[in-house]
């Protein structure tokens, strides 16, 4: 006997059911399985399938390329919806924060590398796009203690241009459409470089403000 009522000690006077802790853990774990995270997982699973379809039969069969385009299109569509659903319905999780950008870069990176390996896309284009994405990711971590660099409208246009251009290169296009895809990719590269430079500018400004605030606080 402690002389303290069970209710005052934070209990109800009854021992918890044997499966209470297990049930709570199950509920917390189930929260990961929301629609936004499931779409992200689908995109991750699509990456190896997309690579297989793109490189099947030597990588030049129009039918296989069409299937590869379909897989790429599904991945791009899920990229649009998973983030929107997560923000709209408060489904943001730590898993989603990590897995979503990985899935984005995995599908785009695999497409660019495969297209360059097949000779459809110059390696320097792949290098510029992937270098920019890696550089901006590292830049965000460099200034994260001072704040977050928000996604800009130019960045969203860049993503749209890249997805459209890569999708057109995945398809076995000929004639005017093949010429059109060249110019769409050129636009994507320009937006990639311009928005990358803008992110660098924002990061420098953000870091300077953060350092100034730290000095003022001292």
The string of pLDDT tens digits covering residues 153-172 is 888 899 899 999 999 999 98
- What is the reported pLDDT for 25? 40
- Return the number of other C-beta atoms located less than 10 Å from residue 15's C-beta: 8
Q: Average pLDDT, stretch 33-60?
A: 90
Q: What is the pLDDT of residues 51-68, one digit of tens each?
A: 999 999 999 999 999 999
What pLDDT is recorded for position 26? Answer: 37
Residue 88: partners with Cβ closer than 8 Å, 6 or more residues away: none
Indicate the range of 93-97, 154-158, 162-166, 187-191 predicted with least confidence. 93-97
pLDDT for 31 equals 64
pLDDT, mean of residues 118-127: 96
Q: Give CA angle at 19 (13, 22), nearest 5°.
A: 120
Structure tokens at 46: 């699509």
Residue 28, pLDDT above cutoff 50: no
Are the beta carbons of 75 and 107 closer than 8 angstroms?
yes
| pLDDT surpassing 90 at residue 36 | no
- The predicted pLDDT at position 61 comes to 93
Rounded Cα distance, 109 and 102, in Å: 10
Question: Averaged over 71-100, what is the pLDDT?
Answer: 79
Are 199 and 139 in contact, with CB atoms under 8 Å apart? yes
DSSP string over 101-168: HHHHHHHHHHHHHHHHHTTSS-HHHHHHHHHHHHHHHHHHHHSTTT---PPPHHHHHHHHHHHHHHHH
**Is residue 23 predicted with pLDDT exceeding 90?**
no
- pTM, two decimals, is 0.77
Q: Is the pLDDT of residue 125 over 90?
A: yes
Mean pLDDT in residue range 13-30: 42
């Amino acid at each position: 006997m402690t002389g303290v009522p069970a209710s005052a000690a934070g209990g109800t006077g009854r021992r918890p059911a044997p499966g209470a802790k297990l049930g709570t853990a199950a509920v917390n774990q189930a929260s990961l399985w929301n629609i936004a995270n499931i779409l992200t997982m689908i995109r991750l699973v699509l990456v190896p399938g997309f690579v297989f379809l793109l490189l099947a039969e030597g990588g030049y069969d129009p039918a296989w390329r069409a299937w590869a385009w379909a897989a790429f299109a599904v991945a791009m569509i899920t990229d649009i919806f998973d983030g929107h659903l997560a923000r709209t319905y408060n489904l943001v999780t730590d898993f989603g924060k990590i897995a979503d950008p990985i899935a984005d870069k995995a599908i785009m990176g695999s497409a660019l590398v495969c297209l360059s390996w097949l000779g459809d896309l110059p390696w320097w284009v792949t290098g510029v796009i992937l270098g920019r994405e890696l550089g901006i990711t590292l830049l965000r971590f460099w200034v994260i203690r001072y704040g977050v660099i928000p996604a800009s409208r130019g960045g969203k246009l860049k993503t749209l241009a890249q997805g459209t251009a890569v999708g057109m290169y995945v398809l076995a296009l000929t004639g005017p459409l093949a010429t059109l895809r060249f110019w769409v990719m050129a636009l994507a590269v320009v937006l990639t470089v311009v928005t990358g430079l803008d992110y660098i500018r924002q990061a420098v400004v953000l870091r300077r403000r953060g350092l100034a605030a730290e000095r003022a606080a001292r």
